[in-house]
């Protein structure tokens, strides 16, 4: 059960007024437990425990909003639809004069979640070491836990594995990976990209901080007969030594933390040969929202990705230009593809709820995970989030 937090009467009363004001201006229907409905029409959100709902938001803002869903205090048949409406208007839900008071009420990220080499190990473990069996419930057979690249919409589940391979192959093409390439992969996942790179004749060194992922990746690499071409190590990216012709990293920069972005890119710069190529796949947010939220502790950070923070394209370009010889030469966004990827994952996870329960993941966890997948999908459907494949090259010294 999600404990009901302490909150002052005054703070809860103010929250009640702000919430009603916000909902009244949105294309939603919000039905309170007594039957009163407000909003301009649209997806229906039903609040079963109004007092607890306001109290949680009063105590924790958007963290409380997510916790209220976890506790079953509100429901929505079209959860993604409700969350998409909110994501589209996230910057304006709180009146602008009150937004200046954000530092006074918004929770700040705990120091324990800083992505030092030791902190990163703990942060990664809390998500990726939950259970390989859990992830296998909703991922396709490639075990790819990042956006696929489809040929058309709506996406079909039977084509998800092919769409994941299309995404991986495009990254390998961007990085120029072929026979004899010395490739570094930062963030192994369950090994699918390393397998496809090895099949091209590359020599792959791949690093991860997840023990669960490492064990299964090693098994898959052994089964495919690529032990001589792929090495998998439990190692922080900052501690990698050597030189590489190409580097690929898929949706790993989100776990680096803004404080350590300069260290991340200077490490890539140090490891890449002059004239080498890097292919990154990164979830991004608008630069102004990144600046406004960079010190805020969010529901995603508390429950899903501790220490995580999304960069903007501008932030990546600024840091690489100022600190490294790396330059972004290509940047392609495909956010709608992530929305469809997440939809397929969410539908599959819902269908296999009983199997998740048998693995020991209770009803509160399943609501948490459903909210996470829907919340993320809504971010991409609204355009608040994007996912990009970015190619960087290292300038050759004159």
**Dihedral pair phi/psi, residue 251, rounded to 5°:** 50, 45
φ and ψ of 161, to 5 deg: -60, -45
CA distance 172 to 175: 5
Say what the pLDDT of residue 369 is.
97
pLDDT at 86: 94
Sorted by where each begins, the domain ranges of the chain are: 9-105, 117-394
Give dist(CA 27, CA 84) in Å, integer: 11
Could you state, in chain order, the average pLDDT of each consecutive group of 10 residues for the chain (398 residues)?
A: 81 89 94 94 97 92 94 98 93 61 62 83 91 97 98 95 98 98 98 98 98 98 98 98 98 96 98 97 96 90 95 98 97 98 98 96 97 98 97 83
Q: What is the dihedral of CA 305, 306, 307, 311, to 10 degrees?
A: 20
pLDDT given for residue 3 in this prediction: 85
Give dist(CA 128, CA 135) in Å, integer.
Answer: 9
User: What angle (nearest 5°) sits at the alpha carbon of residue 77, between those of residues 74 and 83?
Assistant: 70
Q: How far apart are CA 297 and CA 177, in angstroms?
A: 38
pLDDT at 11: 85
DSSP per-residue string spanning 261-309:
HHHHHHHHHHHEEEEEEEEEEEEE--HHHHHHHTTB--HHHHHT-TT--
Tell me if the domain spanning 117-394 has CATH number 3.40.50.150: yes
Considering just the CA atoms, what is the radius of gyration of the chain in Å? 22
Cα(246)–Cα(174) distance, rounded to whole angstroms? Answer: 10
């Amino acid at each position: 059960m999600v404990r009901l937090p302490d909150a002052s009467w005054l703070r809860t009363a103010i929250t009640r007024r702000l919430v009603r004001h916000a909902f009244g201006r949105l294309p939603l229907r919000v039905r309170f437990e007594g039957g009163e409905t407000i909003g301009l029409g649209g997806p229906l959100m039903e609040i079963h425990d109004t007092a607890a709902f306001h109290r949680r938001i009063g105590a924790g803002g958007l963290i409380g909003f997510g916790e209220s869903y976890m506790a079953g205090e509100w429901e929505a048949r079209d959860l993604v639809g409700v969350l998409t409406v909110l994501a589209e208007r996230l910057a304006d839900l709180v009146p602008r004069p009150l937004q200046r008071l954000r530092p006074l009420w918004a929770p700040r990220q705990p120091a324990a979640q800083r992505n030092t080499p030791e902190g990163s190990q703990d942060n990664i473990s809390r998500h990726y070491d939950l259970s390989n069996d859990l992830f296998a419930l909703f991922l396709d057979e490639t075990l790819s836990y990042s956006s696929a690249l489809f040929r058309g919409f709506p996406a079909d589940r039977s084509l998800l594995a092919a769409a994941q391979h299309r995404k991986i192959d495009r990254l390998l093409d961007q990085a120029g990976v072929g026979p004899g390439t010395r490739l570094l992969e930062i963030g192994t996942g369950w090994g699918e990209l390393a397998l496809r790179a090895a099949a091209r004749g590359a020599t792959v060194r791949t690093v991860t901080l997840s023990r669960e992922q490492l064990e299964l990746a090693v098994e898959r690499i052994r089964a495919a007969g690529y032990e001589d071409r792929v090495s998998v190590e439990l190692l922080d990216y900052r501690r990698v030594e050597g030189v590489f012709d190409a580097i690929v990293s898929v949706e790993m920069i989100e776990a680096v933390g803004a404080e350590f972005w300069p260290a991340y890119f200077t490490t890539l710069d140090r490891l890449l040969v002059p004239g080498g190529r890097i292919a990154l796949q990164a979830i991004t947010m608008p630069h102004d929202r990144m600046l406004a939220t960079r010190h805020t502790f969010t529901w995603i950070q508390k429950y899903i990705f501790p220490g995580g923070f999304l960069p903007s394209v501008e932030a990546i370009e600024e840091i690489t230009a100022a600190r490294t010889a790396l330059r972004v030469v290509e940047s392609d966004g495909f956010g709608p593809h992530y929305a469809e990827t997440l939809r397929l994952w969410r539908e599959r996870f819902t269908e296999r709820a009983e199997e998740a329960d048998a693995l020991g993941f209770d009803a509160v966890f399943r609501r948490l995970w459903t909210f996470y997948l829907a919340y993320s999908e809504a971010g991409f459907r609204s355009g608040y989030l994007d996912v990009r494949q970015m190619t960087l090259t290292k300038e050759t010294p004159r």
